[in-house]
Amino acid sequence: MDASLPHRYFLRLSLSSVFKNTRKAYPGYFAETDRQEEQIPSPFADGASRSLATTIYYLLTFDDPDGVFHMNKSVTMHVLHQGRAEYTLITPGNPPRVEKKVIGPNIHAGETLQLLVGSNVWKKSRLLPEDVSAAKEDPSKQPHTGCLITEVVFPGFHWEDHAFLTESGLKALWNGKPGFEEFLPFVKKDA
């Protein structure tokens, strides 16, 4: 390997064996890295038995920069390894509360190294537009443009406790009132 390459390039190359090109059901790559054997009743899944916790790597890349809205019934802690991403969080209510948070290394600019997303909160991640634009202008930056995080889900992740937001679900969050339109490109089409 060329010693002049940035450290973040080495990290992405070393993770390629972990990800093995496994794709999520939504944009990005993921690899489960730990599932605790101990089972507990989940207060978020009507007492159903779940692993104490699960841990994954999640990677957004230049060629796959935008996620879609989804939610976990369990609580999820997102921990930054490298890069930056913007999270849009929608907490149901009347009206729903929309928050945007940047997970990134510049805490002096309001970025955060950790992001706790509570139970039943819709979330979507994306690379920051200025990072994607810079990589489009300078193709040598493309392999280095991305965001790698660890997600710790507790109680542990189970597909039955996960949902994608659909167009009709998004409109229902707003009770037929305006305000949801900007999020339409980032939800699943109704079946």
In order, the DSSP letters of 89-140 are EEE-SSSPEEEEEEESS-GGGT-BSEEEE-TT-EEEEE--HHHHHHHHHSGG
Looking at the DSSP bridge assignments, the partners of residue 42 are none
User: Tokens 């104490």 identify what position?
Assistant: 52
pLDDT at 10 over 80: no
Longest Cα separation, the chain: 56
Most confident of 9-13, 18-22, 181-185: 181-185
Give the integer Cα–Cα distance in Å for 132 and 130.
5
* Confidence band of 22 (pLDDT split at 50, 70, 90): low
**At a CB cut-off of 8 Å and minimum separation 6, what does 59 contact?**
12, 15, 19, 28, 29, 30, 146, 147, 148, 149
Q: What is the pLDDT of residues 123-154, one digit of tens each?
A: 999 999 999 999 999 998 888 888 999 999 99
pTM for the model: 0.87
